[in-house]
Structure 1
């Protein structure tokens, strides 16, 4: 999609004219409070909805700031798994969009992602060059989403103009020979700096360690703000990104055995006809904040997102060439079925508008911190016919060449969704120590789907309520205990195929979470822990499912995830330490498959430990050394837990040096990921009804230099 078409949306056009008009308008005064940079140790996690520092909120969340991303060499959302023990991989492939699992549940890329708090579709490559931070809210997400998978929400916070003009440029290198150039420019204009603009540009030539995966990407984004008066702030931002790169198919079981970890540089998408996955994304938002006096403010926030994707892959899937048929894994001899998969010109659009009021009031001698509002959203997915054609037999050594067959012989599914959500939140301070947190969201949902040939149409409406409640007790400054309960809902529909006896019927899954936590903050340390339980219903098929009327989709028990999370961070002179731990007891209960009863879900580790140490070199104060270590226990590969991949440990090292020159700062960074070049299976996702194995990435060196003025 050409970028110019993006500005034809009403919100973008209005905001563009507004930003241009400010040069001709001089505000009477600009008494809005200055932009506040929140300390890294106690950020306000906006995705929580409460607007209070994390140390005061009755929930668990993690934040990865822009500075931390640079120091750790973070390239994509999937790299969040290095920072928090509660976050794990869930089918993360080079050259494709990212999947995260939180507390053992895979987040839904259609419903569990936010951009500055508004819903977006994460079925695309999301650049981080213009993001101030990445937030992950852990726990049932019903308070912030009408429908979503349990586990949590991910929120991307866009970089906004700061309080002063600033300029920086970055040149980065990553093994084998990926080169990144980027610029981050902020300028204030007008009387008393009433207008601000922040421009982010990036271009990267992608030549990763993975073979046959060369590509490129670029980003252009601008965020503006206008302090139109003492009580009015108008913010507009627009972003265009492009990524073109062949993606990475996973490996799999070889019959009934787990193979030894392969060379992680090997790419099975290496056919002469393999084409890149191309992802274009356009985003724009307009936000207006108006002070209403007496500790009240109103916000109007609109967002539009348009995605265009060419999804293409030499796709290994299953085994039909062996004596025994394996529909969900590769053959014992290391062969597999190859398919030529192409789904081009996929168009996804998301629009959202939120109107809300936030404020404080005293009722009956108790302080209420209130938020009420309405969120309307619309989602459309438009696809064309796709190719999914068997083209021969491949081998896991990547040495087999098969012919292409791009014939478009398979139908796709178009989808539409409209939702209206009414929400209210109230934090009631009962006294100096005790606070009750109440949340309620009512959702009216309308979904439709139809195949690209007009068949299998579905159409249904639902009204949903997702409440939450928490109680916190502050027994000392920045020290509290809390307990909470929340509910989330997922909604799906039985596909309208004649094999199903209940085709077209809407299915609701109501998940529930209980949590109890402790947070402690001191001048030199912060630590906390939480016990949680999440219960999520499951669905499955009963019957042969190979003829008309032979299959029924029915409840298939539930997944119960009980766990302990702990985190800590402290300083001791030149040293700084941090870490997080998750112990997770996840089980399937009351399942249709007796072999899966009481077993662990696939690709969910029971134990995860992540540690970090930083040292400021006394003899050279501008030099900081950093080490990150991660240990993950074994993961089940199949539902009956008869096969699993071993746990592994990996270490990354990095260094940062700041060089002060007249009027500027030069920051040198260098690092090596997977220092000991450990070979292991990183994850074992069950995706598209197939067992997959992804290897841990090879040892990779990286370096960058950033000049800031």
Structure 2
């Protein structure tokens, strides 16, 4: 197991690792016996789309404690199937979530892990991401090669997750054992290389054992100069039908990624977007800078036992560990520019486009999440009223081990020119210490009560006990938070006809407090958790082979920000005031006709801050949240060429503010994408060719103008990108 944590530092290590992966993959592909469906009936099965190649999904895990029909789940859930992921040749979560109009990026640099905003609230790396329902560390770019589908629960998830952000939660569902042997190769217009294998089958005397293995290697030729990298991925999923009533499932996945992190731009003089900025330019480039290396290991297991036809128990556990060696030449602020000399904290580029260059070093930055959950679920009647009850308990722990950060200013540059190489920091790096130890314990229940065929109510809640400590480099406790909170969730459902559901829901959530930026008077302080509340109403309608939905929501949460102090240039990070987001979401997924399937969504969001004590932050839309966003993707099977389909779509974003004061605004934009898919047989093997061209008209736009760790950054979107792949099924 220790080998999984190894970081490849020598030039020959990655190719040797890649050859090993490919060798194992091809060996498995050639030696795997012809498999067939297991004779033992599985008590639980993986979630799959309604038919092969469909964009429409019928079920999701993220809305509760087990797979449930989307039509009967009183929550707004988006499901992105493996068919959609493959057709769009997605590699990153941002490639997947672009299909939901309620999602935006919030500090997602090329070469680093991604962060997102859902319904106008940022997701949290500590608690907003899951694999098979168990929480993982979000400071990683999760590999998609072994994922059956990606699920997004929008809004509060306190019942399901305990302490979590009000924006929502992302759940990755892994592929299970199946008779599959395939190889995929891919390249793009910049010469990147990608090779992946997917092999699996059932074996044993009664075909009771199942295996699924995925391996991938990717040579990344970034559209940003000097930012090439590489990625290696390996995963194994194991299924054991111990008996007709008992099932054991295990998943292990490991990924190593190395790539230079690309800094974002900042506002010129704090009041203007940069002019003539290029998405291909690497700011603060230093020829001797190291790439950011992220090693991630995710392990989870699930045991399920069916006591009777109506009752079953479930025990699951997981560990997620990420080690980040973060070395960056970072562009920030303008202390080195004369025009910024009068500002105490010039956390922006100068009006002339000057910026300071920092040597940032944070090696061995380790994040670990451990979680265990036990649940009992069953069905019964009381006085003619049906119950579907789940009760359980869970324990979760997150630890963060870090060294004192090195962030030394080494020189200055300008956005219009290549900076010179400066002498790097060569001083000592301090020992690692425990920065955070957060423990969460909970008991929960959820009861779906059916009064008749039309009316249902869902009553649930989780009692959370949070015990969280933060420490300084000397090991002294800087904060100790102990808190008990009951997080209720109540929903009412009405089904006028079998394929239509109307619902309303109330939820309460508890979120981790924010971290004060370095320039605040309470620098690096992690604030206490905050409470959020949500009301939501929606309608879902399955018409033929397409799912339609409309959702109204309102979310309230305490506002956290760097509040200007009485002394000019000084700030204190506080929880003061409230952010209220109100919105309407529309979505359609599935087959509009026999030959046309679509994935479409629209989101209109009004986001406001009140009671903050800083008038400039109020009375306008909050930073990085457009009032309107839309996404459309289509797949049309041509009638005159068997196996050929045209693909394409558009993403639209309205204007959005790039500052908390609302004095800088990024323009609206629309990005058009096209592609094709051709399915055929070559030498008796099923083969699929895919071509995708994103940003067809090479549009320049600001995809992300948000805030991160107290500072504002703006990132341009990717230029025109073409990718070609071929998948062969043996």
1:355-374 aligned at under 5 Å gives the runs: 355-374=374-393
Q: Which one of 400, 404, 407 corresponds to residue 427 of structure 2? A: 407
Report what 1:105 is aligned to.
Answer: 121
**Superimposed CA distance per residue, residues 460-494 of structure 1 (whole angstroms, 9 cap, x where no aligned partner):** 21112111111010111221111111011123388
TM-superposed deviation, 1:219: 0.9
Tell me the alpha carbon deviations over residues 1-37 of structure 1, each in whole angstroms, 9 at most, x when there is no partner. 943579xxxxxxxxxxxxxxxxxxxxx9834358464
Instruction: Name the residue aligned to 1:599.
Output: 620
Return the alpha-carbon distance in structure 1 between the equivalents of residues 593 and 250 of structure 2: 42
Shift of 1:338: 1.1
Q: 1:318 to 1:542 in 2, by over 3 A?
A: closer
Alignment equivalent of 1:183, drawn from 192, 197, 202:
197
Aligned residue among 156, 179, 190 for 1:140 = 156
Whether the aligned pair in 2 keeps the contact of 1:29 and 1:229 (CA below 8 Å) is no
Question: 1: distance between equivalents of 2:526 and 2:193?
Answer: 50
CA distance in structure 2 between the partners assigned to 1:155 and 1:396 by the alignment: 39
The equivalent of 2:588 in structure 1 is: 568
Contact 1:261–1:680 at 8 Å: present in 2 too?
Answer: no
Q: What is the DSSP-based 3-state SS (H/G/I as helix, E as strand, rest coil) of the residue aligned with 1:143?
A: helix
Q: Which residue of 2 aligns with 1:44?
A: 59
The answer on whether the counterparts of 1:3 and 1:240 sit within 8 Å (CA) in structure 2 is: no
Give 1:303-342 correspondences, 5 Å limit: 303-320=318-335, 321-324=337-340, 325=343, 327-342=346-361
> For residues 64 and 718 of structure 2, what CA distance do their matches in structure 1 show?
36
1:267 aligns with 2:277: no
The corresponding residue for 1:74 is: 90
- Mapped partners of 2:307, 2:701: distance in 1: 57
SS at match of 1:149: coil
1:515 to 528, 536, 540: 536
Is the contact made by 2:599 and 2:633 (CA closer than 8 Å) also made in structure 1?
yes
- Return closer, same or farther for 1:621/1:52 CA change in 2, 3 Å cut-off: same
CA distance in 1, matches of 2:547, 2:122: 28
- 2:3 aligned residue: 3
Give CA deviations for 1:212-237 in whole Å, capped at 9, x if unaligned: 11111101111111111111111112
Match of 1:693 among 714, 720, 724: 714
**Distance change (3 Å), C-alpha of 1:497 and 1:174:** closer
Looking at structure 2, the residues matched to 207 and 90 of structure 1 have their Cα atoms a distance apart, in angstroms, of 23
Gaps of 5+ in 2: 7-37
- Paired with 2:524 and 2:695, the residues of 1 have a C-alpha distance of 48
Matching residue of 1:14: none
1:448, CA displacement in angstroms?
1.1
> 2: CA distance between counterparts of 1:175 and 1:661?
25
In 2, the alpha carbon distance for the partners of 1:144 and 1:664 equals 43
Are residues 4 and 678 of structure 1, via their aligned partners in 2, closer, same or farther at CA, if it must alter by over 3 Å? closer
State the match for 2:398 in structure 1.
379
Out of 494, 509, 523, the position equivalent to 1:473 is: 494
Structure 1 distance, partners of 2:667, 2:554, is 26
- Give 1:507 shift: 2.8
> Aligned partners of 1:264, 1:429: CA distance in 2, in Å?
54
Distance 2:410 2:352 in 1: 19
Question: How much has 1:439 moved relative to structure 2?
Answer: 1.4
Q: Aligned-pair distance for 1:181?
A: 0.5
RMSD: 2.6
1:656 aligns with 2:677: yes
* Unmatched 5+ stretches in structure 1: 7-27
1:23 alignment partner in structure 2: none
Separation of aligned partners in 2, 1:123 and 1:515? 30
Match of 2:608 in 1: 587
Displacement of 1:541 in angstroms is: 5.7
Alignment partner, residue 196 of structure 1:
210
Query: Which has the larger displacement, 648-657 or 73-82?
Result: 73-82
| SS of aligned partner of 2:592 | strand
How far residue 396 of structure 1 moved from its aligned partner, in angstroms, is 1.0
- The 5 Å alignment of 1:150-169 reads 150-162=166-178, 165-169=179-183
Q: 2:642 aligns with which of 608, 621, 637?
A: 621
Calculate the TM-score normalised by the size of structure 1.
Answer: 0.92
Higher mean C-alpha displacement, 248-257 vs 486-495: 486-495
Q: In the alignment, what sits opposite 1:486? A: 507
The 1:372–1:266 alpha-carbon spacing in structure 2 relative to 1, beyond 3 Å, is same
Moved more, 407-416 or 74-83: 407-416
Question: Superposed, which structure 2 residues align to 1:414-453 within 5 Å?
Answer: 414-453=435-474
The one-character-per-residue Cα deviations of 1:340-396 (angstroms, maximum 9, x if unpaired) are 001001122211111111211111211111111111112211112321101111211
- Map 1:5-24 to 2 at 5 A: none
Greater CA deviation, 195-204 or 404-413?
404-413
The answer to whether the aligner puts 1:640 opposite 2:656 as a matched pair is no
Q: Which among 286, 297, 303 is matched to residue 288 of structure 1?
A: 303
Number of residue equivalences: 684
* CA distance in structure 2 between the aligned counterparts of 1:358 and 1:249, rounded to whole angstroms: 48
Describe the superposition over 1:98-139 as per-residue Cα deviations: whole angstroms up to 9, x where unpaired: 111110111001111111101111112211111111110011
Aligned counterparts of 1:393 and 1:595: Cα–Cα separation in 2: 31
Partner of 1:32: 42
Query: Per-residue displacement from partner, 1:137-185 (whole Å, max 9, x unpaired)?
Result: 01112111221111110111112113xx211110011231110110000
CA distance in structure 2 between the partners assigned to 1:693 and 1:642 by the alignment = 15
Q: 1:531 to 1:205 in 2, by over 3 A?
A: same
**CA–CA distance in structure 2, aligned partners of residues 553 and 581 of structure 1:** 34
- CA distance change for structure 1 residues 473 and 195 in 2, over 3 Å: closer, same or farther? same
| Aligned-pair CA distance for 1:272 | 1.3
Higher mean C-alpha displacement, 392-401 vs 580-589? 392-401
Q: Could you list the per-position Cα deviations for residues 427-452 of structure 1 after superposition, in whole angstroms to 9, with x for gaps in the alignment?
A: 11111101101110111111111122
Q: Is the 8 A contact 1:500 1:545 kept in 2?
A: no
- Distance in 2 between residues matched to 1:666 and 1:512, nearest whole Å: 49
Tell me the distance in 1 between the aligned counterparts of 2:563 and 2:419.
Answer: 38
Counterpart in the other structure of 2:25: none
Cα distance in 2 for partners of 1:680, 1:553 equals 31
CA–CA distance in structure 2, aligned partners of residues 632 and 184 of structure 1 = 36
